[in-house]
Amino acid sequence: MKAIILVAGYATRLYPLTKDKPKALLDIQGKPLLQYIMDDLVKIPQIDQIILVSNHLFFNQFSSWIEAYDAKIPVHVIDDGTMTNDMRLGAIKDLYFAIEAFHLDDDLLVLAGDNLYDFSMADFVAFYNQYSHDSVMIHHENDIENLRKTGVAEVVDHQLVSFQEKPKEPKGSFAVPPFYIYRKETISLIKQYVTDHQPGDSPGSLISWLMERVKIYGFLMPGKRFDIGDLASYETAKMSFQIKS
């Protein structure tokens, strides 16, 4: 299994903090956000390579940080070539960029590099191994305004039966954070999605499209996550984050 961390965004809502520094390298209780993710992924036996997809603006900062990080497994940082928020490729096209750059033919664990979590992705990988189908992470969300800002799933016996991206009228109560596992057999479908010029920015658009073609299962998130999107959520993460013992 390969892990892909998407860190090519520009985090304009966090300016001026992220004007000259990538969000994934912001400090959380003495460590960069990215380090918590890396420290977790390198302990998962199935993961034999980690790929970070950066933009051109922050490529050197990520490369320098990874060079100093003792990962014990191969870690690569790749540059998607963009320099501004208006040029950004979007999450799905950055995923496709990594697939093409490394000719990937493996199961893929895909994470957004701006989401901090207090559990291990090892449990998610174990769930995927049990069901052997494309999988997303889900969590209960009772606030309808929060559901309107995210992907929303209905789940029966662990399988997604519907999915909506940022719906005005949510059908379900499971929010879907940006943590995904795709089978290697699904890579050809991801390529088809992109080459058919489907929406490239929102990962949920890919999930909706895939649901018409493959089974997708939902793993109940075993802890908390912090989606660092603006200054308020960053301050909350700095104060409240604590790794589960």
- Higher pLDDT, residue 166 or 44: 44
Mean pLDDT, residues 23-51 taken together: 96
The CATH code of the domain that includes 118 is 3.90.550.10
pLDDT tier for residue 78 given thresholds of 50, 70 and 90? very high
CA distances from 154 to 49, 130, 151, 203 (A): 32, 20, 10, 17
Q: Which pLDDT belongs to residue 245?
A: 56
Determine the Cα–Cα distance for residues 76 and 69; give it in Å rounded to an integer. Answer: 12
Rounded average pLDDT over 23-52: 96
Q: Write out pLDDT tens, residues 203-228.
A: 888 998 999 999 999 999 999 999 99
In the predicted structure, residue 113 carries a pLDDT above the cut 60: yes
Residue 197 lies in a domain: yes
Per-residue pLDDT at 143 exceeds 90: no
How many domains does the chain fold into?
A: 1
Asked if residue 144 belongs to a domain, the reply is yes
Provide mean pLDDT across the span 141-150: 85
Evaluate if pTM is beyond 0.85: yes
Judge whether 245 lies within some domain.
no
* Residue 149 contacts residue 166 (beta carbons within 8 Å): yes
β 174-176/151-156 pair status: antiparallel
In this prediction, residue 200 carries a pLDDT of 66
What domain range is 187 assigned to? 2-240
Give the residue, 99 or 151, on which the prediction is more confident: 99
Give start and end residues of each alpha helix (H) in the chain. Answer: 33-41, 59-68, 91-102, 122-131, 144-147, 187-195, 203-211, 231-240
182 Cβ neighbours under 8 A, 6+ residues apart? 107, 108, 110, 134, 190
- Give the per-residue pLDDT at 166: 85
41 part of a folded domain: yes
pLDDT at 20 over 60: yes
pLDDT at 191 exceeding the cut of 90: yes
Q: Is the pLDDT reported for residue 70 higher than 60?
A: yes
Average pLDDT, the chain: 93
Does 60 fall in a domain? yes
Within 10 A of 87 (CB to CB), how many other CB atoms are there?
13
Q: Cis peptide leading into 178, omega within 30 of 0?
A: no
Residue 59: which of 113, 94, 22 has the closest Cα? 22
Within-domain flag for 84: yes
